[in-house]
Chains A and B, each alone.
Chain A
Amino acid sequence: MATVDEKQVVQTDQETIVKVEDLKKYFPIKGGILKRTIGHVKAVDGVTFDIKKGETLGIVGESGSGKSTLGRMILRLLEPTEGKILFQENDITHLKNHKMRPIRKDMQIIFQDPFASLNTKMSVEQLIEEPLLIQTNMTKKERKEKVKELLEKVGLRASDRLKYPHEFSGGQRQRISIARALAINPKFVIADEAVSALDVSIQAQVLNLMSDLQEDFGLTYLFISHDLSVVKHISDRVGVMYLGRLAEIAPKKDIYENPLHPYTQALLSSIPDTDVDRERETVHLEGDLPSPSNPPSGCAFRTRCPMAHERCAVDRPELQHMGEGHYVACHLYDE
């Protein structure tokens, strides 16, 4: 395992910052009088990918696809059941809390609901100062200066620092969350449905802000969302999740212009489009997402797939490389 110092020597443009190998998270289902484990919800069931420094990887999926669980495991907010997480080439899968703490400085998360994620009893200054207190040796004066600087960076006024979260609108609160996440100069930020609760005009402001900050701070984003249009706008590469597994992962252009997995195709054709002239062929999916506690055998998507054949019920498709970084897990593309 390379130490942090060695790694900085061999820095290149395509350096991997996060690597996830066969990551799994099974939540036990307890039942009966003795509360024995009677089954598992396979929230994430074997996911492998890496994220390059400075890029934005978008993860899309519907509710229950496991995308948020995945994000939380990478930050070690949830313990993985199996698999490996590498952050800057260090295996952090089983690090103890005190060893994790210095690494947490480099990874931050922005949540969906800025009403729930900001402590209502703390002023904006206290909120943004908190990570600085824990993670740095800054003096009080330096911290106050940093708070002012951050507020201006995210488009709020320095004088806003004495206000409390309830005095702000949803978009402004999300700006506070972003300032808080960026306070300790992280390298890697997970945005978990970070703009989903915002109105479109405000959503656009926050997305533009996130792009600007990415450039200014050299950030790497894992952008988790159910909204394919937003993910397309902000991502360099996109992974599509279905029932705890990656169905397809590819550079943005390939996913949207040449989707290979029938699920990706259906997902894209389900999005209502504002182009009123475009002729569209809609592949509307039948049925609902199966329960992750009892997923179908073989390919998890086969129960809703218009192209399903016999093999899909038997073998679980693995991701296969279709060229130029385009991976798909589907038997249609078997040799």
Chain B
Amino acid sequence: MTNETVLDVKDLKTYFYLDDNQVAKAVDDVDLTVRAGETVALVGESGSGKSITSLSIMQLINKPGKIVNGEISLLGRNLLELTDKQMTKVRGNDVAMIFQEPMTALNPVYTVGNQIMEVLRKHKNMSKKQARQRAIDLLKLVGFPRAEETVNEYPHQLSGGMRQRAMIAIAISCDPKLLIADEPTTALDVTIQAQILDLMSEMKDRLDMGLLLITHDLGVVAEYADRVLVMYGGQIVEQAPKRHLFKDPKHPYTEGLLESLPSVHKEEERLGTIKGTVPPAHKFPKGCRFSSRCPHAMEKCFETNPELMDLDHERAVRCYLYTED
């Protein structure tokens, strides 16, 4: 492991400008770093802004959305300053992405082999023959026993788990430094999920990539992440090494999430709940965005939104319960 910082995002703001002059602050002041060989999990419920964060990094935000502020530096280069053409070279090459639904992410009219070769020919200038051989090697690497045949097969001929393996093969084809996986196993059964997550971990170690894992599943986080960022209302509300987060959650939202999770190893009579629902991104409350659902909310929580404050060099939390005064 080299431990170099692969991705460094600072003050990222991605807003959506809605028809009626309202602004949805989908991502609002997000800082995150991913180092080589490290798995960083971005967790949150639907509407927390985790997917928009990942799409912002890839610069795949379409109108009415816009990255309004921030710096996204990949291997020291600020991606926001690149032209579209330069960015096309970065995508799939330095940074690759895996999505939740492999059937919609793969093109149904091209063979699996063609889709891997396309990336290799575009980014690596390989000949057809070289690209085909490399595609077969990659398919073998991600666990296709009959790679020579699979290379000629279409996505519909593969099962869900196998399609996700093919996606991984495409993603790692150019040895990216950063792999973004957005809910990569949410559509898969548990036994297949375990296979895919193991494969991703293995590839991460082998290629010394940084892995940004976006998920709503705290179980997956506990098993595969090194560091965890918890998102709520477009902001990071807590940041901690995995162990600390699960053993000693600080933010009332993290605490609530962990309590509401049924477990196969615990016996719980009643699940803890967080009252209410996530406010929509154009109607965040004044003050702390979690205040309306927080059991510990104080007067000032309804007035001003707390900053993300460092507790020590590896932990940070956005909550007034941890401020001095």
Contact = CB atoms under 8 A, between A and B. Distances in A.
Interface of A: 62-63, 169-172, 199-205, 207-208, 211, 226, 228-230, 232-233, 256, 266-268, 270-278, 282, 284-286, 288-289
Given A272-B220, A273-B222, A274-B222, A204 B271 contact: yes
A273 B219 contact: yes
A271 B266 CA distance: 14
Nearest to B272: A204
A273 B191 contact: no
Nearest to A201: B274
B159 interface: yes
A63 B162 CA distance: 15
A232 B264 contact: yes
Contacts of A199: 45-46, 216, 278
B257 interface: yes
6 contacts: A200-B218, A228-B190, A270-B190, A274-B263, A284-B194, A288-B159
B272 A273 contact: no
A266 B191 contact: yes
A276 B263 contact: no
Contact of B256 (A201, A208, A277, A284): A201
A229 B262 contact: yes
B222 A275 contact: yes
Residue of A199, A226, A230, A270 with highest tally of chain B CB at under 10 A: A199
B192 interface: yes
Contact of B261 (A228, A274, A289): A274
A276 B218 CA distance: 11
B153 to A, nearest CB: 15
Contacts of B194: 270, 272, 282, 284-285
Nearest to A62: B189
Given A284-B195, A285-B191, A273 B265 contact: yes
A229 to B, nearest CB: 4
A141 to B, nearest CB: 32
Nearest to A234: B262
Interface residues of B, number: 45
A282 B263 CA distance: 17
B217 interface: yes
A267 B271 contact: no
Contacts of B264: 228-229, 232, 256, 268, 271, 273
B251 to A, nearest CB: 13
Contacts of B190: 62, 226, 228, 267, 270-271
A202 B274 CA distance: 8
Interface string B158-188: 0101100000000000000000000000000
B246 interface: yes
Contacts of A268: 264
Contacts of A169: 277
A204 B219 contact: no
A284 B261 contact: no
Given A62-B189, A204-B260, 17 more contacts: A201-B256, A204-B261, A208-B270, A208-B273, A229-B261, A229-B262, A233-B262, A233-B268, A267-B190, A270-B190, A272-B193, A272-B220, A272-B222, A273-B264, A275-B222, A275-B263, A276-B242
Interface in B215-244: 216-224, 242-243
Nearest to B274: A201
Contacts of A201: 45, 256-257, 260, 273-274
A205 B262 contact: no
Interface string B259-301: 1111111001011111001100000000000000000000000
Given A63-B189, A200-B257, A284-B194, A272 B274 contact: no
A275 B264 CA distance: 10
Which 10 pairs across A and B sit closest by C-beta, in order of nearness?
Answer: A272-B219, A204-B260, A233-B262, A62-B189, A199-B45, A204-B271, A201-B274, A272-B223, A270-B194, A229-B262
Contacts of A273: 219, 222-223, 263-265
Contact of A278 (B46, B220, B265, B278): B265
A273 B217 CA distance: 10
A200 B45 contact: yes
B198 to A, nearest CB: 7
B262 A270 contact: no
A256 B261 CA distance: 17
Contacts of A233: 262, 268, 271
B258 interface: yes
A52 to B, nearest CB: 21
Contacts of A267: 190-191
A288 B188 CA distance: 11
Contacts of B216: 199-200
Given A171-B277, A232-B264, A274 B191 contact: no
Contacts of A63: 189
